[in-house]
């Protein structure tokens, strides 16, 4: 099994790299936007369809289970068919998901939306990183990973504004139709610029053993990478799901102020990713950068969990946690690149990044038990402990990767 890049890494025009990075980053932002297609309308669904919180939670479990399973499988398809067809298919599936959401009349319809959105989301990490690794010159990969992570955070940030604005001006169904139109526009742009998104298809020798395509799963470093993503994402899921309730319960913070704190966390995370791109481009030991960033985030979360900081300072420290963790984002992607065997980019990224979906799926269930018991500070400390375990996983990746 062999694979080669589509160009020499030397003397590549900045404009060429920048256009590829921009297209892939736009697609990545659209996937993060899709994470919030349903959660942003939960208050509407509670009132209009008479649903329970458990039923709403099952919608997101459906999303992430399908996304996780699909992401692991998508890596194999990317290596066989190339990344571009799956990128186009994902955008088309998002169009279907948004259209179905605009017509939903009950829980069954919403489950269909969750399944479609999860299926569309499944392709992005193996697709995106295959294109970036093959098409962007090596000296600019750190910046490419930074832009990729930054736009993902921006996709999360734009979605609430998009849906709130259109719902206020018209209706929630119109907001979903507008989202469908947005995905159509993104798909058309990607098709028009398709020459920048082509990738080298992995060649398989006919005399190679049948199990050869699965050989990467025997590598311990792949599972250390998977463990890192699972653990670090569990912490992010706690912040996204429970930080507003925790701040309100521990310090009497208003919902508006707590919501702004979560938005500040995301924006600080985006700034951290931007800064982390420069760090990744200049640092060889990616695993150590990741470990330091996650370790700093764990310390800050622990401080918030003690309750000693008070409301205002807790909000500031929690927001700064996003910056600390964000710095490690581009180095994290470089760390995975170094751990990836030649010719297995799609499969490895698909398997490793499915840890994100697993983390998002199980974290609310686990830490939700803490929240139900009123252990609000313990929830944050537990999230910090989980993030600390991801430090060990990152260092484990580094020890098993040839520098």
CATH number at residue 262: 1.20.1250.20
Predicted confidence (pLDDT) at residue 2 exceeds the cutoff of 50: no
Specify whether 33 is located in the same domain as 163: yes
Residues 89 and 238 grouped into a single domain: no
More confident residue, 318 or 208: 318
Q: Which of 135, 169, 196 is the last residue of a domain?
A: 196
Note the pLDDT of residue 399: 74
Model pLDDT, residue 318: 92
Q: Which residue has the higher pLDDT, 136 or 347?
A: 136
User: Are the beta carbons of 133 and 337 closer than 8 angstroms?
Assistant: yes
| Mean pLDDT value of segment 118-122 | 92
Percent of the chain with pLDDT over 90: 29
- For 137, the token pair is 């010159």
Asked if residue 303 and residue 161 are part of one domain, the reply reads no
Q: In the chain, how many domains are there?
A: 2
- H-helix or E-strand spanning residue 174: helix 172-192
The answer to whether position 9 is within a domain reads no
Same domain, 116 and 166: yes
Question: Both 184 and 247 in a single domain?
Answer: no
- The last residue of one of the domains, among 165, 196, 227, is 196
* Residue-averaged pLDDT of the chain: 83
Inter-residue long-range contacts of 185-192, CB under 8 Å, 24+ positions, other chains counted: 186/26, 186/27, 186/30, 186/91, 187/88, 187/91, 187/92, 187/95, 189/23, 189/26, 190/23, 190/26, 190/27, 190/87, 190/88, 190/91, 191/88
Are 285 and 380 within one domain?
yes
pLDDT of residue 268 exceeding 80: yes
Give the model confidence (pLDDT) of 139-166 as tens digits: 887 788 888 888 988 888 788 788 888 9
pLDDT tens digits, residue range 319-370?
A: 999 999 988 888 887 777 776 666 566 667 777 777 888 888 888 778 877 8
Q: Do residues 228 and 373 share a domain? A: yes
pLDDT at 7: 45
> Which tokens belong to 12?
């590549």
Whether 247 and 315 share a structural domain? yes
User: 3 lies in a domain?
Assistant: no
Answer yes or no: is pLDDT of 235 > 50.
yes
Q: Are residues 173 and 282 in the same domain?
A: no
Q: What is the mean pLDDT of residues 26-53?
A: 85
What average pLDDT does the segment 120-125 reach?
88
Is residue 205 situated within a structural domain? no
Task: Give the residue among 135, 143, 137 at the shortest CA–CA distance from 197.
Answer: 135
52: pLDDT strictly greater than 80? no
Q: Which of 196, 222, 252 is the last residue of a domain?
A: 196
Q: Considering only CA atoms, give the Rg of the chain.
A: 21
Per the structure, the complete domain to which residue 257 belongs is given by: 213-399
Whether 270 is in a domain gets the answer yes
Task: Give the dihedral sign, CA 333/334/339/345.
Answer: positive
User: Across residues 164-186, what is the average pLDDT?
Assistant: 93
Looking up tokens 């830490």 gives 367
Q: Report CA torsion sign: 329, 331, 337, 340.
A: negative
Do 254 and 152 lie in one domain? The reply is: no
Residue 267's pLDDT is 85
On whether the CB atoms of residues 273 and 146 are closer than 8 A, the answer is yes
* 97 or 17: which leads in pLDDT: 97
Are residues 134 and 269 both part of a single domain? no
| Tens-place pLDDT, residues 283-321 | 777 788 888 999 999 999 999 999 889 888 989 999 999
Residue 209 has pLDDT above 60, yes or no: no
Beta bridge partners of 203: 2
Residue 2 lies in a domain: no
The answer to whether residues 332 and 275 belong to one domain is yes
> What's the whole-model pTM score?
0.74
The whole-angstrom separation of Cα 29 and Cα 179 is 13
% of the chain beyond a pLDDT of 70: 89
Query: Does any domain span residue 146?
Result: yes
Residue 57 has pLDDT above 60, yes or no: yes
CA distances from residue 224 to 272, 295, 363, 403 in whole angstroms, order as listed:
24, 17, 19, 16
Note whether residue 5 is domain-resident: no
Tell me whether residue 151 is in a domain: yes
């Amino acid at each position: 099994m062999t694979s080669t890049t589509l160009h020499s890494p030397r003397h590549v025009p900045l404009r060429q790299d920048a256009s590829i990075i921009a297209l892939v980053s736009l697609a990545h932002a659209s996937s993060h936007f899709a994470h919030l297609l349903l959660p942003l309308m939960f208050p509407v669904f509670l009132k209009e369809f008479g649903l329970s919180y458990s039923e709403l939670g099952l919608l997101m479990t459906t999303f992430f289970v399908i996304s996780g399973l699909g992401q692991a499988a998508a890596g194999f398809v990317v290596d066989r068919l190339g990344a571009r067809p799956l990128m186009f298919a994902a955008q088309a599936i998002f169009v279907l998901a948004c259209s179905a959401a605009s017509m939903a009349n009950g829980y069954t319809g919403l489950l269909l939306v969750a399944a479609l959105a999860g299926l569309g989301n499944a392709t992005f990490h193996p697709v995106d990183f295959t294109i970036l690794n093959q098409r962007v010159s090596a000296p600019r990969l750190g910046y490419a990973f930074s832009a990729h992570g930054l736009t993902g955070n921006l996709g999360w940030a734009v979605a609430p504004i998009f849906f709130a604005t259109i719902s206020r001006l018209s209706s929630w169904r119109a907001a979903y139709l507008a989202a469908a139109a947005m995905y159509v526009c993104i798909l058309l742009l990607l098709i028009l610029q398709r020459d920048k998104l082509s990738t080298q298809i992995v060649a398989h020798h006919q005399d190679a053993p049948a199990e050869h395509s699965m050989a990467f799963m025997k590598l311990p470093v792949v599972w250390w990478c998977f463990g890192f993503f699972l653990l670090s994402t569990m912490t992010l899921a706690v912040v996204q799901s429970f930080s507003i309730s925790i701040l309100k319960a521990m310090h009497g913070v208003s919902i508006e102020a707590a919501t702004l704190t979560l938005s500040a966390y995301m924006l600080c995370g985006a700034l951290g990713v931007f800064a982390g791109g420069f760090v990744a481009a200049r640092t060889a030991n990616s695993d150590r950068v990741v470990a330091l960033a996650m370790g700093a985030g764990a310390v800050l979360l622990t401080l918030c969990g003690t309750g000693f900081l008070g409301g205002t300072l807790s909000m500031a420290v929690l927001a700064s946690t996003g910056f600390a963790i964000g710095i490690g984002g581009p180095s994290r992607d470089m760390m995975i690149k170094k751990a990836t065997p030649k010719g297995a980019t799609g499969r490895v990224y698909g398997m490793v990044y499915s840890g994100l979906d697993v983390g998002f799926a199980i974290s609310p269930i686990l830490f939700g038990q803490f929240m139900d018991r009123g252990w609000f500070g313990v929830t944050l400390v537990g999230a910090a402990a989980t993030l600390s375990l991801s430090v060990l996983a990152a260092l484990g990746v580094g020890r098993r990767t040839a520098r």
